Structure 1
Amino acid sequence: MTAERRWPGWTLALLAAATLIALDRGADYAGERWARSNLVAAAHAAADLRISALRSEIEKQRVLPVVLAQDPDVRAALESRDAGRLAALDAKLRTLAEATRAGAIYLLDARGLTLAASNAGTPTSFVGTDYSFRPYYSRAMADGAAEHFALGTVSGKAGLYLTRRIDGAGGPLGVMVVKAEFEALETEWRRFAEPTFVTDDRSIVLIASEPDWRFRATAPIPEERRAELRASLQFGAAPLDLLPITAVGDGLVRAAASAGAGARSFVEAAAPAPTTSWTLHVLAPTAPSVALARTAARASALLAGVLALGSVGIAVSRRRRLARERAAQGAARRELEERVAARTLELRAEIDERRRAEAALQDLQDELVQASKLAVLGQIAASVAHEINQPVAAIRTFADNARTFLDRAQPGPAADNLATIAALTERIGAITGELRAFARKTKGVVEPVSLRAAVDGALLLVGHRLREQNVALDLDLADDVTVAGERVRLEQVFVNLLQNALDALAGRPDGRIALSAAVAETSVVVTVADNGPGLPDAVMGALFMPFTTTKPAGLGLGLVISHDIVAEFGGRLAAENRGGAVFTVTLPRLA
């Protein structure tokens, strides 16, 4: 009888141990696989966001050489070589480089000699330097345009050189060069836990959040090819050796993410960067997430096993060990409470980390809105320059007339000319002030805004394009109203809608845009309609989703950003076809 009573106890003990071991191993494996799958998804999402930011930065700079190649000041400086014109062009390029965050903007003549530059007058000035040996010059002279990533021979900073040939009646006059640098983007990437880098089609790292990884390779480069690259000065004296990244199987890589640090495990996400031959890589560290998931899974499995086995043990030996089991249950409860408390602390830490990640994502989205705004500024830069050139020319004429009247001792007419000059300078100030306000980062605070002021600001920025395309504007804002919003961002919405309407009316001799406002008791509905071809049915359903566009060179982000801005104000943005495209912006009305 004694042996029979003791044998079930040994059996239960062995079964309990085997069950707990099996649960622990299974939970450990399942927790690790679950954490890895989440890391892979998060890494791909992070790669998509960083590709958007990279593409936005490149596209913002791509428009500059195209616009500047058509600038009359640039052509005049090339044709005349006048010192005064070149000095004025230096100042203009410096202002444009600061506004667009370009690394450098400079003008080469037909022989590759630098005539004007945004860094003129600085120790690293490009003026007078011969860049005829650079591929971006020779390709632009041959093909009309070129893009080339290289290390600067004067500045020592790497960047993407975007060039455009300037043609004259007798042949090429020169080449406009814009250098896009990515230091700000690399600094932004360093804020995240995931190392990020960009490789070209030769597997050479061009941009990296880890400075030691720049100009290294993800695949071996033959020695003769390395010698050619060093001779071309594209990457300076960089050894072009392999990155410290090793594949270890099962979708994992090991890498030393910073100098002096030991190798760690990562999952890698790679995606091509549109409009380039580059590939963006994101390495997500596995240790924190996997360790947390494994601990949580093992704790949960252990808890479930203890509860199940405890129930079986209680059922089998309740009569004989009732008092002892009660004490054991009390100890198990205390242990469980301690584990739950510890897990609660871990979950709180995880929640805090996710909140910080969400804050970082919001900052990235704000940067995307700002980048989109600067891209719009690049599109309208030539129009604003033309808008300013007219009053400047008039100021010169009135100033000459005033001097003539003063020489003739006719102060009355001279005073009239000076008053006209003052009015023209006020107009220039209004244009440049609007441009600066539009480019400035906003506070993102919803407040009362004059609808007419926002519309007038948008029309001031796109007015020249309306006149250039000979598009009629029907403006119906009978009474000024106050709406909930933020002046510059609301202005950005109207600029985007007017720019889209003008793009739709390109080449039409009878183009017309109607901008009207219908005022209700609690809302204001602003309508922007054109008589163009309307929106294709294929894009209507996804119009406010990222990267949906009808423009060959469009990013498909303008309407998405406008939709989000209006939603932040408590309103909505909608679109339909009624003879042409019709966009309606509904905003809350404030008393």
Structure 2
Amino acid sequence: MRFVRRMAAQARVPASPLGWRWLAFGLAAALLLAVGLIGAADLGRSRAVAAVTARAEDGSTLAIAILRGELEKQRALPVILARDPDVRSALSGGSRHTLDLKFASIARETRTAVIYLLDVAGMTIAASNWDEPTSFVGNDYAFRDYYLGAILKGSAEQFALGTVSQRPGLYLTSRIKDGERLLGVVVVKVEFDRVEADWRALGGQIYVADQRGVVLLSTTADWRFHVETPLDEETQKEIRRSLQFGEAPLQPLPLTQDGDLVQSTAPARALNVLARRDVPTTSWHLDMLLPVDQAIRAEQSRLQTLVAFVLLVGLLLAALLLRRRQQATMRLLVASEAKAELERRVEERTAELAGSNRKLLEEMAERARAQMRLLDMREELAKANRLATLGQVTAGVAHEINQPLAALRTYAENARALVAGADPGGAAGALGKVIGLTERIGTITETLRGFARRGSGALVPVLLSEAVAGALMILDAPLRQAGIVPQVETGPAGLRVLARPVELEQVLVNLLRNAVEAIETVAQHPVPPLLSLSVAETQEGASIAIIDRGPGLDEEAVATLFTPFRSSKPRGLGLGLVICHDIVTAFGGTLVAACRPGEGCTFIITLRRADAEPVQ
């Protein structure tokens, strides 16, 4: 039957014409190849631009380091010369030619272009180029901004074209004073030929422009004193007036923005990446242009070759796979049938699992309800245990109440007689005693009623001394009937633990009552006290120790103390200690026992403190 179904499925699938399939394959291959080559070209361009940009960033950082090294070396020179005694002597009428020679020597050693000294009127009185045709000696530079800035501020810097040498440079000046009297200005001119030569070794074009966009330094000499953007007329007039750049035309740089790149037309047409950085300690910025055309072409060619190779290999494999198309189609049909069968089985299994899940949820709900019933039964059992305890102490309590009731009658009759005998003071005293006795009866009955209540709710802070006092009050009559005076140490005042008051009293009453019953079975007690209860504060809370001098228990009996329905009493049910253990565990505490035959038993309860402060 399976063979018949397979042949029927093959009969339902029409065969595609072989020529149409190869035509579709050829068109898809051409489209894929075109898209791949275009994508490779775009990726190649992006990667080449990123690589050259990284080189430009590194190159601009190095170029700034070269420039800053020259600047910082020369900036200290005018400050030092302003303090030189020979300079001050020349300004005060001393030998100026001696200063010429000194300036020339210093200029050679520091590789400074020119060092010269201006008097208070801005006239050059000494210069390192005193013996050259372009000597600055005798020239008036009072119009220069670097002179005016030094006079007003103490020092100044100005990049300008020399009016005599016609060479650009940075003028560094420092004011010279004698107390409050102005003597003159020392000027150091720095030229950057060596800096520009070092820049050329980095490749590309590098130039520095001031805050107005005027090019000051450049590895391309023709770019000097060009502007990045056209200047407004007022700025051009100010530059012409100060002769800062001589007669430079201030024409725009031969650069145009081309997307994220810069197109340059001189000295050669090229597409460049631009890296711009501010020059620290100046108002200049440095631009580095690196050509990217060749890198783009190389990266595009490499990636396109790689993509073409990968695509051709892939297309060859696709052609091989196309030949097996029909066989693959038949296998897919068979697989489709198998998949449908599998899906059907999965649906059936899913339905079965859903049913099982519903049954599991119902069982979980039933278990939760059973757990709630168990908790209720445990609470009812605890209440029954309390009521059983109350039943055992009823006789003693009745005796305790009968005594104040008899006294009440006597005092009431006395009060009536005193009222009849017109003795108000005596009657008032008798009635006061009546009131005290009723309060005592009320305290006894309220304690018993509270002990019989059902304990529930969250854990709350419980004053441990009150819980101990309540338990001793409930057992007051049995203790006196047995002739036992317990030794009680309630521990630190105000010690509180986390518990439920009624259930904590129930635990104490059960343990104390068990101790009384154990003591009563012993004929002689050689070592007092017969029963003791002590409270101690621990690192994490409190511990309550109940010690009796009863007959004690052997190890086997101690091991089954907290096992249900196992009791050492002839008529015991074996549930009291189990209930006590469960209650203390619910409080987050522990209940342990230690017994020795003939020496009695010790039960220790540990509970958590109710306050947040740890014990020191």
Q: TM-score normalized by structure 2?
A: 0.49
> Whole-Å Cα distance in 2 between the matches of residues 304 and 257 of structure 1?
41
> Whole-Å Cα distance in 2 between the matches of residues 59 and 170 of structure 1?
29
Who is 1:254 aligned against? Answer: 263
Deviations 1:463-499 (A, max 9, x none): xxxxxxxxxxxxxxxxxxxxxxxxxxxxxxxxxxxxx
Who is 1:101 aligned against? Answer: 111
Q: Could you tell me which of 11, 19, 39 is aligned with 1:6?
A: 19
Who is 1:191 aligned against? Answer: 201
Who is 2:47 aligned against? Answer: 34
Q: Which moved more, 1:139-148 or 1:306-315?
A: 306-315
How far apart are residue 159 of structure 1 and its match? 0.7
Who is 1:153 aligned against? Answer: 163
Q: Which moved more, 1:191-200 or 1:100-109?
A: 191-200
Who is 1:542 aligned against? Answer: none
Q: Secondary structure at the match of 1:164?
A: strand
How far apart are residue 66 of structure 1 and its match? 0.8
Task: Tell me, yes or no, if the aligned pair for 1:102 and 1:180 is still in contact at 8 Å.
Answer: yes
How far apart are residue 313 of structure 1 and its match? 2.2
> Whole-Å Cα distance in 2 between the matches of residues 297 and 286 of structure 1?
16
Who is 1:63 aligned against? Answer: 76
> Whole-Å Cα distance in 2 between the matches of residues 310 and 100 of structure 1?
71
Q: Secondary structure at the match of 1:142?
A: helix
Q: Secondary structure at the match of 2:271?
A: strand
Who is 1:467 aligned against? Answer: none
How far apart are residue 302 of structure 1 and its match? 0.8
Who is 2:244 aligned against? Answer: 234
Q: Could you tell me which of 297, 300, 318 is aligned with 1:294?
A: 300
Task: Tell me, yes or no, if structure 1 residue 143 matches structure 2 residue 153.
Answer: yes
How far apart are residue 9 of structure 1 and its match? 2.2
How far apart are residue 231 of structure 1 and its match? 2.3
Who is 2:124 aligned against? Answer: 114
> Whole-Å Cα distance in 2 between the matches of residues 192 and 50 of structure 1?
8
How far apart are residue 188 of structure 1 and its match? 2.5
Task: Tell me, yes or no, if structure 1 residue 207 matches structure 2 residue 217.
Answer: yes
> Whole-Å Cα distance in 1 between the matches of residues 84 and 17 of structure 2?
102
> Whole-Å Cα distance in 2 between the matches of residues 100 and 13 of structure 1?
74
Task: Tell me, yes or no, if the aligned pair for 1:195 and 1:257 is still in contact at 8 Å.
Answer: no
Structure 1 letter corresponding to 2:37: D
> Whole-Å Cα distance in 1 between the matches of residues 119 and 244 of structure 2?
22
> Whole-Å Cα distance in 1 between the matches of residues 256 and 29 of structure 2?
41
> Whole-Å Cα distance in 2 between the matches of residues 194 and 170 of structure 1?
51
> Whole-Å Cα distance in 2 between the matches of residues 248 and 294 of structure 1?
19
Q: TM-score normalized by structure 1?
A: 0.51
Task: Tell me, yes or no, if structure 1 residue 313 matches structure 2 residue 296.
Answer: no
Higher relative contact order (CA 8 A, sep 6+): 1
How far apart are residue 3 of structure 1 and its match? 7.7
Task: Tell me, yes or no, if structure 1 residue 79 matches structure 2 residue 92.
Answer: yes
Deviations 1:234-276 (A, max 9, x none): 0000111211111122x11211231xx3x32212111110000
Structure 1 letter corresponding to 2:306: S
Q: Secondary structure at the match of 1:80?
A: coil
Task: Tell me, yes or no, if the aligned pair for 1:119 and 1:125 is still in contact at 8 Å.
Answer: yes
How far apart are residue 281 of structure 1 and its match? 0.6
Structural mapping, 1:500-519, within 5 Å:
none
> Whole-Å Cα distance in 1 between the matches of residues 130 and 271 of structure 2?
47
How far apart are residue 316 of structure 1 and its match? 4.0
Who is 1:273 aligned against? Answer: 279
Q: Secondary structure at the match of 2:160?
A: strand
User: Which ranges of structure 1 fall in alignment gaps of 5 or more residues?
Assistant: 320-591
Structure 2 letter corresponding to 1:309: L
> Whole-Å Cα distance in 2 between the matches of residues 197 and 257 of structure 1?
14
Task: Tell me, yes or no, if structure 1 residue 48 matches structure 2 residue 61.
Answer: yes
Task: Tell me, yes or no, if the aligned pair for 1:210 and 1:257 is still in contact at 8 Å.
Answer: no
> Whole-Å Cα distance in 2 between the matches of residues 232 and 150 of structure 1?
9
> Whole-Å Cα distance in 2 between the matches of residues 95 and 13 of structure 1?
82
Deviations 1:39-62 (A, max 9, x none): 222212211111111111111110
> Whole-Å Cα distance in 2 between the matches of residues 222 and 13 of structure 1?
62
How far apart are residue 142 of structure 1 and its match? 1.5
Task: Tell me, yes or no, if the aligned pair for 2:264 and 2:272 is still in contact at 8 Å.
Answer: yes
Structure 1 letter corresponding to 2:196: E
Task: Tell me, yes or no, if structure 1 residue 18 matches structure 2 residue 28.
Answer: no
**If you compute each CA radius of gyration, which structure gives the higher value, 1 or 2?**
2
Q: How many residues are matched? A: 312
How far apart are residue 224 of structure 1 and its match? 3.4
Task: Tell me, yes or no, if the aligned pair for 2:276 and 2:286 is still in contact at 8 Å.
Answer: yes
Structural mapping, 1:392-471, within 5 Å:
none
> Whole-Å Cα distance in 1 between the matches of residues 323 and 16 of structure 2?
15
Task: Tell me, yes or no, if the aligned pair for 1:193 and 1:285 is still in contact at 8 Å.
Answer: no
Q: Secondary structure at the match of 1:132?
A: coil
> Whole-Å Cα distance in 1 between the matches of residues 257 and 86 of structure 2?
54
Structure 2 letter corresponding to 1:208: S
> Whole-Å Cα distance in 2 between the matches of residues 169 and 205 of structure 1?
40
Task: Tell me, yes or no, if the aligned pair for 2:117 and 2:127 is still in contact at 8 Å.
Answer: yes
Q: Could you tell me which of 206, 210, 232 is aligned with 1:222?
A: 232
Who is 1:390 aligned against? Answer: none
Task: Tell me, yes or no, if the aligned pair for 2:59 and 2:202 is still in contact at 8 Å.
Answer: no
Q: Secondary structure at the match of 2:17?
A: helix
Q: Secondary structure at the match of 1:147?
A: strand
Structure 2 letter corresponding to 1:196: I
Q: Percent identity among equivalent residues? A: 43
Deviations 1:340-368 (A, max 9, x none): xxxxxxxxxxxxxxxxxxxxxxxxxxxxx
